[in-house]
Amino acid sequence: MPTSGFVAIGAGIAMLTGFGAGIGLGIASGKASEGVARNPEASGKIMSTGLIFATLSEVTAIFGFVIAIMLIGKL
Amino acid sequence: MNLDKVLKPNIIFNVKLFGAVIPITESIIMMWIVMAVIIILAVIFTRKLQTVPEGKQNVTEIVIETINKLIKSNMGEHWKSFAPFFGTILLFLLFSNMAGIFNIFPTASELYQITGMHFFKQLPEFSIASPTKDLNVTLTMALMIILLIPISGIKYKGVKGWCKGFLKPTPIMLPFNILDYGTRTLSLSLRLFGNILAGFIIIEMLYAGSVFVKPIIPFASLFFDLFDAGLQAYIFVFLSSLYISEVIE
């Protein structure tokens, strides 16, 4: 099939979602550790809220990964 | 590695029941194995319980207390009726995510390549892998949680109170609150599926790689099969308990 190369390129482009997710995760975890350094007593609460937002920003990368897998499956 | 083989459900055998053919896939058998392991461990660890704990009873109490503390901090006053359910889901996901680490037995085609006996060629291809790398399994788990949200909402607040929850915090949020049921199913199931499948694919790629990448495999396996697996199981339970506590409070 002549279009299979474009499908592969599309799968690669879909994985660019990891770019934004990485930045988001970095900001979230950096701010969380900053918060723990300022207020060590609240580390439990910061841990759980930080985990929620980390997973929320991570899910965009996972969606991109699933799209890439679907595209690769079409090859 | 053939990606098509990873994504398609691997049918081991078919069961004929009332005229219908039910395919039994690899992930179903893996779930049976995980269930059997959990049941056996539960029976062993809860035998001869005493008032003053000793030996293996300490381990049991630590596990139960950790689960209770997690659910208590998320759900508030109604934690007692949800803690056993979420504890079961946490243990099941933990064991099934970590099942990939026991992938030590050669599959039927590998045995055929080694020995050259035609007997192995007829056997179905079965390898020990996490059942959660199958989207059907994780989607079922997510649908279970999503169905529990309206049920627990109606049980604790009545039909009227549950419907009022759609208008919180402002009535403008109504379409988004309805949309939440769809997006939460998607994100809950795809997060677990994507993470476990990504770890599986990376480890398979390392196995297929040259001699120089082979030393990385134990560390990659440690990260994906133990750390990431535990984290994803925890996050699944954490988020679903959060969704339910939103409705019942």
Residue range of the domain that includes A31: 22-70
Does A59 contact B at CB distance below 8 Å? yes
Interface with chain B: mutation pick from A7, A29, A65, A75, highest number of B CBs within 10 Å: A65
Half-sphere exposure of B227 (CA within 13 A, CB side): 7
Residue A37 sits in a domain whose CATH number is 1.20.20.10
Q: Tell me which chain A residues have a C-beta less than 8 angstroms from the C-beta of B73.
A: 44, 48
Question: Which segments of chain B are extended strands (E)?
Answer: 11-17, 20-25
* Percent of the residues in chain A that have a pLDDT greater than 70, as a whole number: 97
Predicted confidence (pLDDT) per residue in B107-123, tens digit? 777 777 777 777 777 77
**Residue A2 falls inside a structural domain:** no
**Residue A35 falls inside a structural domain:** yes
**Residue A11 falls inside a structural domain:** no
Q: What angle do CA B202, B208, B214 make, to 5 degrees?
A: 80
Half-sphere exposure of B140 (CA within 13 A, CB side): 12
Work out the pLDDT band at A2, boundaries 50, 70, 90: low
Does A1 contact B at CB distance below 8 Å? no
**Residue A37 falls inside a structural domain:** yes
Contact B195 A69 (CB under 8 A): no
**Residue A41 falls inside a structural domain:** yes
CB proximity list for B137: less than 8 A, separation 6 or greater: B27, B31, B96, B131
**Residue A15 falls inside a structural domain:** no
- Please report, for chain B, the start and end positions of each structural domain, with discontinuous segments joined by +: 3-248
Predicted confidence (pLDDT) per residue in A36-59, tens digit? 999 888 888 888 788 777 877 888
Does A42 contact B at CB distance below 8 Å? no
Predicted confidence (pLDDT) per residue in B116-174, tens digit? 777 777 777 777 888 888 888 999 999 999 999 999 989 888 888 888 888 877 888 88
For residues A14-26, give the mean pLDDT.
Answer: 89
Query: B89 is written with which tokens?
Result: 């889901």
Predicted confidence (pLDDT) per residue in B22-69, tens digit? 888 888 888 999 999 999 999 998 887 888 878 888 888 999 999 998
CA distance A64 to chain B (A): 10
Number of domains in chain A: 1
**Residue A32 falls inside a structural domain:** yes
The CA distance from B11 to B14, in Å, is 8
**Residue A14 falls inside a structural domain:** no
CA distance B191 to chain A (A): 6
Number of H helices, E strands in chain A: 3, 0
ipTM: 0.78
CA distance A73 to chain B (A): 6
Does B82 contact A at CB distance below 8 Å? no
Contact B194 A62 (CB under 8 A): yes
pLDDT computed for residue B88 by the predictor: 92
